[in-house]
């Protein structure tokens, strides 16, 4: 988890990508001491090791990048 978003590793197929901060619903504040993104309004916290459901928003094959968004 970084200020600009949360990295995600899929279990199968094994690929990784990023949930950019701008794709998160609401305002998430970065806590560098805890490596967390926190939404004080909804009390949602993203931290390393969390299991989340994601949707692919962007697949850039030229740069081998995947952008995800959270799915509730």
pTM over 0.75? The answer is yes
Residue 47 near residue 2, CB atoms below 8 Å: no
- DSSP assignment string, 2-59: BTTEEEEE-SSS--EEEEEGGGSSS--EEETTTTEEEETTTTEEE-TT---EEEEEEE
What digits encode the pLDDT tens for the residues 31-43? 999 999 999 999 9
The pLDDT of residue 17: 95
Tokens of 58: 């962007």
Query: How far is the C-alpha of 55 from the C-alpha of 71, rounded, in Å?
Result: 6
């Amino acid at each position: 988890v970084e200020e600009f978003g949360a990295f995600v590793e899929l279990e199968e197929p094994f690929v990784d990508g990023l949930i950019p901060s701008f794709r998160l619903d609401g305002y998430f504040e970065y806590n560098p001491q805890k490596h967390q993104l926190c939404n004080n309004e909804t009390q949602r916290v993203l931290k390393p090791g969390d299991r989340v459901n994601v949707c692919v928003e962007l697949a850039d094959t030229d740069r081998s990048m995947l952008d995800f968004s959270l799915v509730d």
